[in-house]
A and B are shown apart, each in its own frame.
Chain A
Amino acid sequence: MNNDVEMKNQEHSNEWVKIVSQDGFSFVIKRDVASQSGTLKSMIGTGEGFAEATSGVCNIPDYRGAVVEKLAEFMIYKKMYGHASPPEVIPDFQERIYPEIALELLMAADYLEL
């Protein structure tokens, strides 16, 4: 009985990962959403044996919370519309980017392969 509960917890804990920014803001997103980013995907993937795979926490120490928040938003956007076929209308993401964070967001996007 106990074992059953444990396994279920593990599966649940695998489903979500936490991304922590430089100033301590953390964002909890689903694992498959986080996998939209090439860098994050290999960090949390079990192939390479990184610590993040077991803990489920990824630190992005170079970028502020505001930037990481927008990154998370983009990952969800990509997951939702990444595979949309042409008839479906894809909303514009560019208008949702604040110009003030654009430069940092560019560097972060490059780092995360988004």
Chain B
Amino acid sequence: MSRRSNNVRGPTSALTEFLRESGITATSIARRAATAQQNPVAGPSNVNEGHDEESSPNREAREANDEGFDSDHLDSEDAAPIGKRRKLSKKDQEKQKAKGKGKKKKGKKGDDESEGSDDEYTALSRSMFDVKGKASGAKPPMGSFENCVKCEKRFTVTRYTIAADPPPGWLCHQCAKASGADPFKKPTAPRKRKAPEQQRKIVNFDKKVFPSLASLCIKLISEHIEDVEALGDIGSVNMYEIGRVLAKNRCLTPENAPLLYDIKNSQITFHDATKLDPDAFRTLASLNPGLESLRLDLCGRIENSAFKHWESHLPMLTRLELNGPFLVGCDAWKGFFASHPQLTGLLVTESPRFDLACMESLASECPNLVELRLSRVGKMSDEFLEHVGTFDYLRSLELSYPAKSLSTEAVVEVLAKVGSRLTHLDLSGNDLLTDDVLTEGLIPNIRLISSLSLNSIGELSDQAVGDFFGATQNIAFHKISMFRNFDLADKALEGLLAHSGRSLTELNINNWKSVSNDALMTIGPCAPNLTKLDIGWCRNVDDFVIKAILDGCPNITDISVFGCNKLTDNCPRKAGASIRGNEAERNFMS
């Protein structure tokens, strides 16, 4: 009875007949069972893929018999592996499921060896018929021609050919799409069940973070806010510090802000007023009627109604500093100015609504203005400057970072009017200003400026700045800040040090990237009174420059050297002076 070469087959059982007709073979089933556990169902289209391990002893026999089943062969195949299965199935069922499946499938479908394997049996039937037709018949080899059972057309069998439902037969691509089944859809991966140990370890990220003592204290204080005696002797504590700590923890709320209010208060500073709503601002005014100076940072929620309230409830207010009052509208500003003719300081940062009409109103209602800051005011333009020029008492002027840069002519004009009295000037961020602003605006007009900031004005040239410091008749500066002016380098630095070196306490030349090492070496000896220095991104700073500074400036407390790559680990240090930004230092956060 040669099984190999001829097609004669002896009598077979109904089962084997059925299996052969449907094209179910041992190879395909075993492979499918094995790979179904590991990856999404691999199409049995690759008929000649490798088998999994446990079948290898029987591989030869099976390969010789891949057309169908012989009952003889069936038994012999079953004997060995099923014996194995019996022994092991008591132990690690999950692991053996795959192998068991494979072996089971090799056997008869209606096998009565169902010991403890109802699971496996049903799994078998499920995967046999559940898979979308891909495996329920032996797919003809790729590239061969088949007739579509629906439209009777001839088509080429590909990897994506779908079997017709009901079987048997195969559908051409169009009919497959028409029937709704997407041939290209990847089969869903079988859902893996986690081992029980793994399931228990759930990390809950929404659990509370360990509270800090500061936050606990703040909560406690908020609870006792009404009961002032409970909080002990407040007088001994600096309320400004409390306010600072509250703001630092971002916990300043309408509930605990009243802690800082007092009828005798003359000034209030909130570094973070984010949580205060307009009502809270009204309360602020009502409870601090004697307020003369008010500073609110991050006060985004303040708006017109609160401003209106302030008009009548802060009669003594002379200085108002607001960072971020973007909701306050033009009329509110105008009303406020009208009610506070005694205003001496108005410092506003970030307001898109402060416009020319407001500026006019300010100029006419508050002629005594001493301090003016309009930083990041979206509507600022040259026309504003006409009105700025009318303030006779102006000492401190900042017109920085407008949405559209001021022009040189307008700036020159306003400097002609007010420049001689100014002690602080900041024109940062006006990137259209040219060297002429130095020659025509600053040099002829300024006399008393001690703090000068000309940051981010890209058009300024090295030569012009150097000449400016040479030619200006201003007194020696105390604070100079000219960061992010790319062209400035040696001439500017030399001029600066020659003019003001001895009196400089703060210097910021961040991003003067071409300043030479020699010029930097002169900072130490020429500026002995420096306390704060920013030489970040000046590429030629090295350890010797730092040493010169530490030696030459006994009062230095803060040196910023971010981006100075030539600094090494051996950069000198000094007690009391913090050098921030040295990348080579192991302890980067000093």
Contacts and interface: CB of A to CB of B under 8 A. Distances in A.
A28 interface: no
A100 B216 CA distance: 14
Interface of A: 47, 71, 74, 78, 81-82, 84, 86, 90, 93-94, 97, 99-107, 109-110, 114
Given A99-B230, A102-B224, A102-B231, A110 B216 contact: no
A35 B237 CA distance: 27
Contacts of A82: 210
B220 A99 contact: yes
Q: 8 closest Cβ contacts across the A-B interface?
A: A100-B232, A109-B213, A106-B217, A114-B213, A109-B214, A99-B230, A110-B245, A86-B207
Interface of B: 204, 207, 210-214, 216-221, 224, 227, 230-232, 234, 236-238, 241-242, 245, 248-249, 587
A97 B234 CA distance: 17
B217 A81 contact: no
11 contacts: A71-B213, A81-B210, A86-B207, A94-B211, A94-B216, A102-B220, A102-B231, A104-B236, A106-B221, A107-B245, A109-B214
Contact of B204 (A78, A86, A109): A86
B207 A106 contact: no
A97 B241 CA distance: 20
B219 A106 contact: no
A102 B256 CA distance: 13
Contact of B241 (A78, A105, A107, A114): A107
B240 to A, nearest CB: 11
Given A97-B220, A99-B231, A104 B213 contact: no
Contacts of A74: 213
Contacts of A100: 230-232
| Central interface residue in B210, B211, B213, B236, by most chain A CB within 10 Å | B213
Give the interface SS of chain B, mostly helix, strand, loop or mixed. helix
B210 A109 contact: no
A103 B237 CA distance: 7
A106 B232 contact: no
Given A86-B207, A94-B219, A103 B213 contact: no
B231 A110 contact: no
Given A86-B204, A100-B230, A102-B217, 9 more contacts: A81-B210, A84-B210, A94-B211, A94-B216, A102-B220, A103-B234, A103-B237, A105-B213, A114-B213
Nearest to B206: A86
B557 to A, nearest CB: 16
B204 A106 contact: no
Contacts of A103: 217, 221, 231-232, 234, 237, 242
Contacts of B216: 93-94, 97
Contacts of B207: 86
Nearest to B246: A106
A100 B237 CA distance: 12
A106 B231 contact: no
Given A94-B219, A99-B232, A106 B224 contact: no
Contacts of B242: 103, 106-107
Contacts of B245: 106-107, 110
Contacts of A71: 213
A86 B205 CA distance: 10
Contacts of B211: 93-94
B217 A109 contact: yes
Given A47-B587, A86-B207, A107-B242, A99 B224 contact: yes
Contacts of B219: 94
A80 to B, nearest CB: 11
B569 to A, nearest CB: 14
Contacts of B236: 104
A40 B213 CA distance: 15
A112 to B, nearest CB: 8
A21 to B, nearest CB: 15
B241 to A, nearest CB: 6
Nearest to A78: B210
Contacts of A84: 210
B210 A94 contact: no
A101 B221 contact: no
A105 B224 CA distance: 15
B178 to A, nearest CB: 54
A99 B218 CA distance: 11
B237 A114 contact: no
A106 B234 CA distance: 12
B210 A106 contact: no
A78 to B, nearest CB: 7
Nearest to A114: B213
A84 B207 CA distance: 11
Contacts of A99: 220-221, 224, 227, 230-232
Contacts of B234: 103
Contacts of B238: 107
B261 to A, nearest CB: 15
A71 B245 CA distance: 17
Contact of B248 (A47, A104, A105, A110): A110
A20 B272 CA distance: 33
Residue of B216, B227, B242, B245 with highest tally of chain A CB at under 10 A: B216
Nearest to B590: A48
A99 to B, nearest CB: 4
